[in-house]
Amino acid sequence: MKKLTDLPPEERPRERLLDKGACALADYELLAIMLGKGTHKHDVFSISRRLIKIIDQKGINLGPGDILEVEGIGSAKATLIAAALEFVRRRIKPEGLKIKFPPDVLPLIRHFADRKQEHFICVSINGANEVMNVRVITIGLINRTNVHPREVFADVIAERASAVIIAHNQVGDLTPSKEDREITVKFKAAGEVLGDE
C-alpha cells in the first residue's frame, strides 16, 4: 500500500498543485488532497478512486451518506467533501449554469476525457436552459458502452427536466463509430416521443 509520503516530493499531489496548478492533477489526486490520508487497509488513492465512481453516479445529488458508503471515509471527511461540493455548486453555478451554445457544456464534462473506459454522461436542463444535474449513466469497456434510453430518461423525467444533453468520452479514434451513430438515432427518437404534447 503506497502512502503519499512514499512518493518523491515532485510526484505528491499537494506539491504538484502548488507547482503546476490544480488543472495538472487528475480527479483522484484532487480528492486525495481533500482526504489527506488513507487507512491501514486502504491507501488514499484507492479511496479517492472509489469515491469518484459514486460522485459520477450521483452527480449534484451526492450527500454525506453516499460518501460514507466508501470504506475508509469517516463522518469528518464525508462532511468536509459534501460541504466543499455544495460550496462550489453555490458559488460556481449560483442559479444554474446556462447552456446557450453546445460548447457551454464542455466545462462540465471535459474531466471525463482522460478516462480509460467510455463513460456515458447525461446533463439535465430545465426550461430556462440551466443545468440541473450531470451524472454518469453507464461505464463501459475500453472502447464502448451499452446504454438504453430508459436509463437516461428515468432520472430526467423524475427531475422534470425540459431537455437533456448526452455525451460520452471517446477512447482512441475520435471518429464516430457505427454504434455511436445508431445510439444517437435511438436517443433522438426516444426524446421526440417524450417531447410530444
- Tens digit of pLDDT per residue, the chain (197 long)? 667 777 888 888 999 999 999 888 888 999 999 998 888 899 999 999 999 989 888 877 788 999 999 999 999 999 999 998 888 776 665 456 788 888 888 888 887 887 778 888 899 899 888 888 888 888 876 555 678 888 888 888 888 988 899 888 877 777 888 888 888 888 888 888 887 54
Task: Say if residue 113 is in the same domain as residue 87.
Answer: no
Question: Is residue 18 situated within a structural domain?
Answer: yes
Query: How many structural domains is the chain composed of?
Result: 2
Task: Say if residue 40 is in the same domain as residue 64.
Answer: yes
Cα separation values, 77 from 12, 16, 34, 85, 86, Å? 20, 22, 8, 12, 14
pTM of the model: 0.60
Domain residues for the domain of 33 are 4-92
Task: Say if residue 80 is in the same domain as residue 136.
Answer: no
pLDDT for residue 144:
58
Task: Say if residue 119 is in the same domain as residue 150.
Answer: yes
Q: What is the CATH number of the domain that holds 109?
A: 3.40.140.10
Task: Say if residue 72 is in the same domain as residue 155.
Answer: no
Question: Is residue 29 situated within a structural domain?
Answer: yes
CB 134 within 8 A of CB 122: yes
